[in-house]
Amino acid sequence: MNNFIYENKTKVYFGKGGVREYLGCLLKNYSTIMLAYGGGSIKKNGIYDEIIGILNSEGKTVVEFSGIMPNPTYKKVLEGTKIARENNVEYILAVGGGSVIDCCKIVSAQAKIDEDIWENITKKKKFPTEFVPMGAVVTASGTGSEMNAGAVITNETEKIKCGLFGAQADFAFLDPMYTMSVPFEQVISGAFDTLSHAMETYFGKPSENNLSDDINEAVMRSVIKNMRVLLTERENYDARSELMWASSMAENGILKIGKITDFQAHQIEHQLGAYTDCNHGKGLAVIHPVLYRHIYKDGLEKFTRFAENVWGINDKNSDEETALAGISALESFIKEVGLPTKFSEMGIPESTDFKAIADSTNITAGCCKKLTHEEILEILKECV
């Protein structure tokens, strides 16, 4: 087994009613709280009223930072930073999905320094060390952002969407009831994002005998099973619970223990997002099968195992047939749950500058094959 260090500082409060029971107590040492949220869904589903009621009854000064968009921009980070500084915010409460949580992670770091965090991380490899503390109330699951310090931010000027490092939430509330109002398409897209995180980790090295991959297979099977449950019972609380916890499990570091992760599909999708502002889970759904057909021969043993242990395929003759049947099963599943398998289904036109996307995609070396920019362009063209 490779050497590793593992720690996760986020305390998870899972289940119904957690916010009402514990939020006030968790914020007892802070008086000025930034309440950060997205485009307003929390005002329609009652979560805003519940939280503001708790903050008011605890006598907090509440500073609002709203309008955090899906695929949050660095410009939005700077807007939040200004609000945090001008109001001497002591604690940031991120209420939303991955976009809100990610934006807050970087606001939390940027509020502490005058230097530009984007420049520091992307150009100088200088990472933040001081943060305004933050906590998260997850309203849409899938990214697993609540249990790590990674934040995916889009710099519109540079046309780069990439992972930065910021604050990690001290606590995360995971109440599956909060996800009931998420548009169903987003529920499925988020759950596929979780499956993608698991796959991208699974296909990283090492491939042979390791506990992380064994746990990962269980996570993937659970995500597939519970997505299928939601197709016929959209409000099934248990299925939503399992998906919500799987989302955290896929990104809280446990599956990555001892592994070099890959995330090549994510790198491609992030640049696709930088150019098209597309939905993250949908972009991944299109890219995954195409990418895997390009690389499976270089990782035949692992792709065969994926087919057998995740998709239950055991009636094929050769490893190659089995591996390909696994990728086909993944593709059929994507169709079954209503996700796209072509960019055209997402409204991404053929005229998109795929060459610029391919050339600006970060190449990873964690998986069975290190791609070139030319191969990424081929993959993107096949996705159209």
Of residues 186, 212, 322, 360, which one binds ligand NZQ by CB under 6 A? 186
- Minimum distance, C-beta of residue 41 to ligand NZQ, in the bound complex (Å): 3
Paired residues of 173 in beta bridges: 13, 137
- Minimum distance, C-beta of residue 210 to ligand NZQ, in the bound complex (Å): 22
CB 34 within 8 Å of CB 65:
yes
CB 69 within 8 Å of CB 150:
no
Of residues 18, 34, 38, 162, which one binds ligand NZQ by CB under 6 A? 38
Residues at the site binding Zn ion, with contacts judged by CB under 5 A:
193
Triad 28, 8, 20: Cα angle to 5°: 35
Which is nearer to Zn ion, 89 or 339 (by Cβ)? 339
The distance from CA 226 to its chain's CA centroid, rounded to whole angstroms, is 18
- Minimum distance, C-beta of residue 280 to Zn ion, in the bound complex (Å): 6
How many amino acids of this chain bind ligand NZQ (CB under 6 A)?
A: 33
Q: Which among 36-44, 290-298, 304-312, 331-339 is the span making contact with ligand NZQ, rule CB under 6 A?
A: 36-44
Closest to 135 measured CA to CA, from 67, 45, 33, 60: 33
Closest to 208 measured CA to CA, from 259, 254, 255, 250: 259
Q: Is 111 in the site for ligand NZQ (CB under 6 A)?
A: no
Per-residue binding string, ligand NZQ, 317-356, x by CB under 6 A, is ----------------------------------------
The span from the CA of 263 to the CA of 99, in Å, is 19
Q: Which does 152 bind (CB under 5 to 8 A by kind): ligand NZQ, Zn ion, none?
A: ligand NZQ
Residue nearest to Zn ion (CB): 193
Paired residues of 91 in beta bridges: 33
Of residues 151, 220, 246, 286, which one binds ligand NZQ by CB under 6 A? 151
Q: Is 96 in the site for ligand NZQ (CB under 6 A)?
A: yes
Per-residue binding string, ligand NZQ, 58-77, x by CB under 6 A, is ------------xx------
The span from the CA of 265 to the CA of 364, in Å, is 10
Burial of residue 121 (number of CB atoms within 10 Å: 0-12, 13-18, 19+): buried
The span from the CA of 375 to the CA of 294, in Å, is 9
| Contact footprint for ligand NZQ (CB under 6 A) | 38-41, 45, 70-71, 96-100, 102, 139-140, 142-145, 148, 150-152, 178-179, 181-182, 186, 190, 193, 251, 266, 280
